[in-house]
Chain A
Amino acid sequence: MSELRADRPAERLYNGLIKENPTFVLMLGMCPTLAVTTSAVNGLGMGLTTTVVLMMSNLLISMLRKVIPNRVRIPAFIVIIATFVTVVQLLLEAYLPVLNRSLGMYIPLIVVNCIILGRAESYAYSHGMIASFFDGLGMGLGFSVALTCIGVVRELLGAGKLFGYAVLPATFTPISIFGLAPGAFFVLAGLTALQNALRDRKATDKNKAARPAAGCVRDCAACGIEGCQAHGKFYDMEDK
């Protein structure tokens, strides 16, 4: 994705969603990831709530970055983040009481979500307003996608449902442990292992591409084999 220019909105969105996905790549903000993903709707709700807080706090911190003295920046960030969390919590209480009840204590705990403080410190404090806003949006969406993925797996295995609708046939016996606490650990372990396996496969594919053709004598200067992918790799016999 080299055609995307750095710090442009599109590049920030791509960065947050895929390249530096906060959950699967950076492994940040694990507490809400495991606690509220009992269903896909809860995961999505938590993700979007965090996205709103992240966008607003990034925007405000970026606006105030020349006013906040360097030495008290962390307390200042925390106050800004906590203010937005309180605002969002009051709004949820008023307009989405069902979601508010199912997320419960984990809404005020967004304050200590390391993703938000991490983005404030590593991006918003040193970049412009628009870039910071889209950085928050990208990171937040990446977090939402990850939470929804975990929620989908847990809801499907634990209750046989998807977003509240029964999708599996009635003969399927729900494995209720996936809806309980241990299931959260197992699903995340499985997804991380899957990601590791995919990354390893990618890495070995690259190695394969550079493997010399059959009949290689490990001396490219004296070799006449057509189409050898490792051409130019071996120049003396010691290089084994």
Chain B
Amino acid sequence: MDNVKGLFVILIGSSLVNNVVLSQFLGLCPFLGVSKKIKTAAGMGTAVIFVITLASGVAGVIYEFVLKRFGLEYLQTIVFILVIAALVQFVEMFLRKCMHSLYEALGVYLPLITTNCAVLGVALTNVQKQYGVLTGMLNGFATAVGFTISIVILAGLREKMEYNDIPKSFRGMPSVLLAAGLMAIAFCGFSGLL
């Protein structure tokens, strides 16, 4: 029972309380870049959930059974980034061959994810907090869900903001950053949850 409670805490904590974008500032590039329309934002979010869950599993296995066994922990940054880059390539190839409809939906976003620092960030957090492989995967999934929630909300805000009369120098990026800041204040409210 305690175990289940712990997993639930990770799930809520990583997706809402320590939201990956709004409180840890990881994955800002896609957050600001691919959030013009709700549809593309949702596509990006789905691709991120898919890749982060897989990547944190694979990185966890390699850390646990290769790096730790041979005392090579200091190589983690190099190994993780290579594993993530290779994994994204494989996922793209696999989807193109075997699940074409999913590939069409996610295809454009997959190459962009390699440079999404949230993926590497989750792998490193899992090591830092000494999560096992399965707990790490759950943490990755929760983090990615948090990313999707915030990018979809921001896209919704930006769609509405299109019609507003914004002072000239605040048009474009500054108004988006302000909206993100207000969202971050709202997400601070979750910190009382745990």
Given contacts A111-B81, A200-B169, contact A182 B177 (CB under 8 A): no
CA distance A74 to B86 in the complex (A): 12
- Least CB distance from A44 to B in Å reads 18
CA distance A190 to B175 in the complex (A): 9
Q: CB within 8 Å of A: which residues of B?
A: 22-29, 32, 74-78, 81-82, 85, 115-117, 120-121, 124-125, 128, 168-175, 177-178, 180-182, 184-185, 188
Given contacts A181-B22, A192-B174, contact A111 B181 (CB under 8 A): no
User: What total of A-B pairs shows CB separation below 8 Å?
Assistant: 111
The chain A residue with its CB closest to the CB of B176 is A189
- Least CB distance from B165 to A in Å reads 15
Q: Is A126 interfacial (CB 8 A cutoff)?
A: no
Q: CB within 8 Å of B: which residues of A?
A: 27, 30-32, 34-35, 74-75, 78-79, 82-83, 85-86, 89-90, 105, 108-109, 111-114, 117, 177, 180-186, 188-190, 192-194, 196-197, 200
- A186 contact set on B, CB distance < 8 A: 177-178, 181
Jot down 8 A-B pairs with beta carbons below 8 A, ordered by A: A31-B26, A83-B78, A86-B74, A196-B169, A196-B170, A196-B171, A196-B174, A197-B168
- A109 contact set on B, CB distance < 8 A: 26, 117, 120-121, 124
- A197 contact set on B, CB distance < 8 A: 168-169
- A192 contact set on B, CB distance < 8 A: 173-174, 177
8 Å CB contact of B75 from A78, A86, A113, A183:
A86
- A34 contact set on B, CB distance < 8 A: 25, 28
CA distance A194 to B181 in the complex (A): 17
- B169 contact set on A, CB distance < 8 A: 193-194, 196-197, 200
- B117 contact set on A, CB distance < 8 A: 31, 109, 112-113
CA distance A215 to B174 in the complex (A): 41
8 Å CB contact of B74 from A32, A90, A184, A196:
A90
**B29 near A185: Cβ-Cβ < 8 Å:** no
CA distance A183 to B184 in the complex (A): 9
Given contacts A31-B26, A83-B78, A90-B74, contact A182 B184 (CB under 8 A): yes
